[in-house]
Amino acid sequence: MHSIPGRRFIMGLFLIFLLLPIYWLVNMSFKTNSEIVSTMTLWPHTPTLQHYKRIFTDESWYSGYINSLEYVVLNTIISISVALPAAYAFSRYRFLGDKHLFFWLLSNRMAPAAVYALPFFNLYSAIGLFDTPWAVALAHCIFNVPLAVWILEGFVSGVPREIDETAFLDGYSFPRFFIKILVPLIASGIGVAAFFCFMFSWVELLLARTLTSVQTKPIAAIMTRTVSAAGMDWGLLAAAGVLTIIPGALVIWFVRNYIARGFALGRV
Amino acid sequence: MDKTVNQKAWFLVLPVFLVVAFSAVLPLMTVVNYSMQDTFGNNQFFWNGVGWFKELLDPSTDLGGRFLASLGRNLFFSLVILAIEVPLGIVVALSMPRQGWTVAACLVILALPLLIPWNVVGTIWQIFGRPDIGLLGYVLNAVGIDYNYVSNDIDAWVTVIVMDVWHWTSLVALLCYAGLKSIPEAYYQAAQIDGASRWAVFKAIQLPKMNRVLLIAVLLRFMDSFMIYTEPFVVTGGGPGNSTTFVSIELVKIALGQFDLGKAAALSLVYNLIILIVCWIFYTVMTNAGNERKPQEGAA
């Protein structure tokens, strides 16, 4: 009763639609450039690993991945650690200005990154953080912290209030209750929130590119270098693209059962 | 389960407040400051009052013309996106397998496009759509359709829209799936006993249960498509001509390309205001829906 007639056909068609462009990228990353430009082949006839080899041996390439991962991880840690206590507060207490604060947080999740690109550039240059992973990590907080608060608040609200009360009656101090009891109870929620912070920081490019120049260029910005005097290096571009998909594909496996709930901001 | 009033909760919220205020309020003050001034470089600024805002909202000026044109394009884009992605997302969610390993497999594949960096999404479609080396462009031209997103306005639009459908329909589908999962089996059994048709089940059981998630989906998709930047920028660069230049692209052009700080700042503020209004509607509707939901849960 859950599903509609012809569902296998529809699902199959949609999955093919999703996978075909990705397949084409993977396909191209294993081709030599001459094969890409000269012929139309559905699979690599002379498969080569030269593009991947170049990325893994050329420091200017692989350092891009390290830079990206650096600010993504930094951002995830900052976002989760500040969002956890706030999520608890929003879930359990009523306080002066709580609703307005919540709305203000949400409005920052929705703010267009393009609006902030230039002021961020000025701000982080002024305080000397420009071109460090910290600049990007802090800048991404503007949309990741509100998101983390929203998701975690949903999960904290799922924990019965009696558990808090029992713990306090048993003589737990607040920090001890928080770390020993609450955090393990919403571990899956923290996982989902961390996943979403990771994801949105990983896919964002505009701010990351604006706030870095030489030292900490993200991989996304380095990819634009494949345009050279000899024309586009399509194979290299495709290989770099494939490698950016892998971290996401890996983490997705761990949260597959919670993905939907996370996208609903913990509110299903 | 009423929340207790406790002003000390502010201490728990303080870290979030400080972090977000640092990244949101300070830059916004800069924007407000710039929006009132004009500059001729060398860090010399002149008071301009509301001059930029007047120009921005007047279609006869260069700035106003560009802003309103990109705003119109962006609204049209967002509406087309919603009209395609929402029904398609519902259909895909209804087509999800019921149980077994295929559920996990479908979920992972569905979520895959959401985790690809936005510029790589652009790159994927840039390559996929090229008539010389891309499968899509090649096949379309081979069957006799003259398709070239670099030179033809309509082709560029179709490419950008199909790309967005590819990128984000999964979000709608995953949200609807989460909504459908929350329907108790007993509802379907009751419908079966009543001899309800497929369509009646959808209309009377599934659609009402999906209301909330659909609302989230529609508003998230509206706002995200309204500030889309990276993907169309990579694929078309806003062209051919200005045909796919959306508001964000125009804004970055003015701010970081021409360094017209005053104009860019005024545009930013108006842009932000539109988002804020939509966001407020979203928030009000969401919290109201939440309040309506609680008594029902108590009854069931």
The mean per-residue pLDDT over the stretch A149-171 comes to 87
Tell me what percent of the residues of chain B surpass a pLDDT of 70.
92
Please check whether residue B275 touches A, CB under 8 A: yes
Separation of alpha carbons B263 and B252, rounded Å:
11
pLDDT tens per residue across span A53-66: 888 888 888 888 88
Q: Is A205 helix (H, G, I), strand (E, B) or coil?
A: coil
What distance lies between CA A191 and its chain's CA centroid?
Answer: 13
pLDDT tens per residue across span B172-210: 898 888 888 878 888 888 888 888 888 888 888 888 877
Separation of alpha carbons A223 and B123, rounded Å:
10
Predicted confidence at residue B81, as pLDDT, reads 93
The mean per-residue pLDDT over the stretch A254-259 comes to 72
Strands B4-5 and B37-39: unpaired
Partner residue facing B264 (CB), from A19, A118, A120: A118
CB pairs under 8 A between A and B: 303
> Of how many residues is chain A composed?
268
Q: What is the mean pLDDT of chain A?
A: 84
Q: How far is CA B244 from CA A241, B124, B153, B177, B222, in A?
A: 24, 18, 8, 32, 17
Q: Which residue of B has its CA nearest to A232?
A: B127
Domain ranges across chain A? 1-48, 57-263
Q: How confident is the model at residue A262 (pLDDT cuts 50, 70, 90)?
A: low
Neighbours of B30 (CB within 10 A): 19
Quote the tokens at residue A175. 């920090």
**To the nearest 5 percent, what fractions of chain A are helix, strand and coil?**
75, 0, 25
Predicted confidence at residue B224, as pLDDT, reads 85
**What's the angle, vertex CA B131, arms to CA B129 and CA B135, rounded to 5?**
55
For each of the domains in chain B, give its residue range(s) and CATH number, in order of start.
67-299 (1.10.3720.10)
Q: How far is CA B8 from CA A9, A86, A262, in A?
A: 56, 12, 29
Residues of chain B with pLDDT below 70 are 1-2, 39-45, 286, 289-300
Quote the tokens at residue A267. 């509110």
Predicted confidence at residue B295, as pLDDT, reads 46
Question: Is residue A172 within 8 Å of residue A115, measured between CB atoms?
Answer: no
Predicted confidence at residue A260, as pLDDT, reads 64
The continuous run of DSSP H or E covering B5 comes out as: strand B4-5
Q: What is the mean pLDDT of chain B?
A: 83
Q: How far is CA B131 from CA A168, B104, B151, B152, in A?
A: 67, 35, 12, 12
User: Does ipTM top 0.85?
Assistant: no
> Which residues from chain B sit within 8 angstroms of residue A98, using beta carbons?
9
Quote the tokens at residue A65. 């991945």
Quote the tokens at residue A138. 């802090």
Please check whether residue A163 touches B, CB under 8 A: no
Separation of alpha carbons B65 and B55, rounded Å:
9
Predicted confidence at residue B296, as pLDDT, reads 44
The CATH number given to A57-263 is 1.10.3720.10
pLDDT tens per residue across span A63-107: 888 888 899 999 999 999 999 999 999 888 888 888 888 888 878
The continuous run of DSSP H or E covering B22 comes out as: helix B9-35
Q: Is B46 helix (H, G, I), strand (E, B) or coil?
A: strand
Q: How confident is the model at residue A261 (pLDDT cuts 50, 70, 90)?
A: low
> Which residues from chain B sit within 8 angstroms of residue A257, using beta carbons?
104, 107
Quote the tokens at residue B273. 């205001």
Question: Is residue A148 within 8 Å of residue A83, measured between CB atoms?
Answer: yes
Closest approach of A23 to chain B, Cα-based (Å):
10
Predicted confidence at residue A81, as pLDDT, reads 93
Quote the tokens at residue A155. 């999960």
Predicted confidence at residue A1, as pLDDT, reads 44
Whether A114 sits inside 8 A of B91 (CB atoms) is no
Q: Which residue of B has its CA nearest to A136?
A: B23
Closest approach of A172 to chain B, Cα-based (Å):
18
